Chains A and B, each alone.
Chain A
Amino acid sequence: MEPAVSGRALEMVYRSGSTRVRALAQVSLDIFCGEFLLLMGPSGSGKTTLVSILGGILTPTTGEVTAFGTRITSLSPRQRAKFRLSLVGFVFQGFNLFSALTALENVQLALALKGLRNSAARTSALSLLDEVGLAGKAERLPRDLSAGEKQRIAIARALAGSPQLLLADEPTASLDADNGRMVTTLLRTLAKGRGCAVMTVTHDSRIMDLADRVVHLEDGVLKT
C-alpha cells in the first residue's frame, strides 16, 4: 500500500546566532490513508517541526517529503500554499479560530478559500458542524464556546473541502480528560470514516489505545 505522505531522511537545523540546533535527525516516516497515527514525545523533541514539514509549512534542511504523489519539498512557497489549501487540514493546540467570526463563518471561510460559492459553502459548513455535533451553535462566537467546543469547530474547519491529510498538533492539550478523549475519538472516526490520513501530536498517554500506530520522537530521532 502506497503511503499518503512519506518523509525520507528529514533533517532540520535551526540557526540562532552562532548556535545551531538540530531539531530533526534523519527522520523517515510514512502515513497511510485511513490511518490514525499518534506522534508522541517530550517537549522540544521536534514533534511540531515534523508536523510542519509533513504539512508543507516548513521545508527541511535536508530530506524529502512526498505527499499524494507530489514531492512537496521541491515546491515553491506559493505551490506549497496551494498544496496545503487543497489537501491538508490543520488542528492546533490553541484552536486558532478567528475570534471575530461565528462558528459557521470560521468553517465557511475555509470552504470559500477552497473555491466553494456562498450557498454551497454555507450548506457544507452546517453539515461539517453537524458532523462534530455543533450545528446548534453555528452562530456563536468562539468566546461563547467551551474549549472542547472550540476544538471541535477547529476540526470542522480543518475538514472543510475534505482534506486527504489531517495534522493535529496537541489537540487535547487545552482540554480536560473527557473533552480530550471526545476530540481524539472524533479524529479517529474521521480517519476511518473519510479514509484520510490523520497524524496527531500528543503528550497524552491516555489516548494511546485509540491509535492505529504510535511513534515516539526523542531529541529529533524517531523511535518506533
Chain B
Amino acid sequence: MDIGERAERMVPLGRKTLFEDLPRFLVAQAGVAFAVALIAIQTGIFIGFVKSAGLPVDESTADVWVAAKDMLYFELAAPIAYENLDKARHVQGVARAEALFLKTSAWRGPAHKIEYIRVIGFDPSGDLYVPGPIGRADLAKLQFADTAIVDAGNLKALNISDIGGYGKIGQHNVRVIALTRGTQPIISATFIYTSLANAKAYFAPATPPPSGLPAPLNPRYAAIWLAIHARTSGQRAQALDPSDDISYVLVRAKPGVDLADLKHRLDSALAGTSSYTKQEMADRTRSYWRKRTGIGFLLGLVAAVGFVVGMTVVGQILYTSVSEHIKEYGTLRAMGAPDSLFYRIVTEQAVLMALLGFVPGIVLSVWVSWWAHAQRNILILITPASAAVVLAVIVVMCVVSGIFAVQRALRVDPAIVFKA
C-alpha cells in the first residue's frame, strides 16, 4: 500500500468531499440514476425484443420442431402437408407429435377497422403448444367453429373490448372466447390463436357472401352463446385432411432419446423437411430479427448511445466536482501528494456515485418496465443478470470518467494555491 492509498484510507477525503454538499450530491446522483435508467431501459428493450421474438417457440414444450426445408424463422415457413404429422408419429423415439399452423390474414373488427394478423392453429387438446397461461376449459371452447383466443394486450388493436367480441377473418365471423396474456412478440403482427380445424376454415375458399358483423357479446354470455352456437350451427369445424397445409410438426421425444439422432430420423422419414431442437428454433427466430432485419442493430445502437450518454453525464459530474475543488487538489499538489492519492480520491467518489446512483436508477427502470408492459404489452426485460451487468457497466463508466476527471487534478498548477 503506497502513501497516497494509506492517506486516503486514514482520512477519507474523497468520500467526505462527495457528501459535504448534500443537495449538490443528490443532484449529481440524479444524473447517475438517469444514466443507469437510460442504460437499463435501453438494454432492457433490446433484451425484451430478443426474448419476445422467440416467445412462440418458448411457449412450446416440444423437443423438436419439424418445418419445410427453407424455413427462415418462426413466422416464415413454407407449408408442409398435414400427413407429415402421422408420419412423424411413427418415427422411432417420438412420444407425441402435434401440428401447428401459421398463416397471415386480416382481422376486420367492428367499424371495419383492419388489423394485420397471424392466425396460429394448434391442437387445443394437445400439450406441445399452448399459447400462454390459459386453462383447459377455455382451450376446449376452440373445438367450436369460428372461435379464437387472443392476447389481452391486443384487444385494442383488434378493436374489441373483451371476451365475446367479434371480428371477421376471411368469410368468418370469429368470436373471441378467451383471453391469454404475455404471448405477443413486440415486432410481429397480432397473433390470433385457434384450433387447426378453425384455421383451415378461415383460409378456405370463399363460400357465401359476407354478412355484417353480429353485435359484440357480453363476456358473461359467451358460454351461453357457445352452447347455442354448438347446437344450431356450430358444429365443430372440419378436421384436416392429409393433404391440407400445416406449418410445423411439433415433436416430443421419448425419455432418453438422443435429439440429434431423432432429428436425423425425422429428416429421413419426412421428405422436404428439416428438424430443429427447440433451442435451435428459438435461436433461429431471434437471430433473424436481430441480424437480418437491422432492428437488432438499431436497438443495440440505441443501447450503445445510452452508454455514451451515461458516460458523458457521469464524466461531466465528476469533472465538475474536481473543478469545484481544484484549489484543494492544488493544495495537495503543493504539499507533494503522490498521483496515487488523486486517483484514489476520484475513484472512490466514482464508485460511490455508481453504487448509490444504481439503486434509484434500477428501481426507476423496473417501474418503467412494469408500466410499459401494463400499458402497451411491451416487454422491457430487466433480469437480475442484466441488472448486474448494468451495475458493472455503470461502475466501469464512473471509474473511466473518474480517471478522465483526475487528469484535471493532476494537471493543476500547484501555484494556484497562492491565489487568495
Which residues of A approach B to under 8 Å, CB–CB?
48, 51-52, 55, 57-58, 80-86, 88, 90, 92-94, 96, 98-101, 105, 108-110, 112-115, 117-118, 121, 169-170, 173-174
Contact = CB atoms under 8 A, between A and B. Distances in A.
Contacts of A58: 415
Contacts of B337: 81, 85, 113
Given A100-B16, A101-B13, A113 B336 contact: yes
Nearest to A93: B420
Contacts of A48: 415, 418
Given A85-B336, A101-B16, A92 B414 contact: no
A72 B7 CA distance: 25
A82 B415 contact: no
Contacts of A174: 420
Given A84-B334, A96-B417, A98-B328, A108 B17 contact: no
Task: Give the interface residue-count category, chain B.
Answer: 20 to 34
Contacts of B4: 113
Contacts of B333: 81
- Tell me the interface secondary structure of chain B in the complex: helix
A80 B337 CA distance: 11
7 contacts: A51-B418, A52-B414, A52-B415, A57-B334, A83-B336, A108-B10, A113-B337
A81 B334 CA distance: 7
A112 B7 contact: yes
B420 A170 contact: yes
B217 to A, nearest CB: 70
Most chain A CB atoms below 10 A, which of B328, B334, B335: B335
A174 B420 CA distance: 9
Interface in B1-41: 3-4, 6-7, 10-11, 13, 16-17, 19-20
B11 A109 contact: yes
A108 B16 CA distance: 14
Given A90-B417, A98-B17, A105 B11 contact: yes
B342 to A, nearest CB: 12
B338 interface: yes
Nearest to A87: B336
B175 interface: no
Contacts of B13: 98, 100-101, 109
Contact of A84 (B16, B19, B335): B335
A41 B3 CA distance: 38
A113 B418 contact: no
B331 interface: yes
Contacts of B420: 92-94, 170, 173-174
Given A109-B7, A109-B10, A118-B10, A93 B336 contact: no
B347 to A, nearest CB: 17
Contacts of B11: 101, 105, 108-109, 112
Contacts of B334: 55, 57, 84, 90
A7 to B, nearest CB: 16
Interface string B141-173: 000000000000000000000000000000000
A83 B334 CA distance: 11
A160 to B, nearest CB: 9
Interface string B409-420: 000001101111
Contacts of A83: 336
B184 to A, nearest CB: 54
A96 B328 contact: yes
A57 B417 CA distance: 10
Most chain A CB atoms below 10 A, which of B13, B19, B20, B417: B417
Contacts of A112: 3, 6-7, 10-11
Interface in B288-341: 327-328, 330-331, 333-338, 341
A124 B253 CA distance: 78
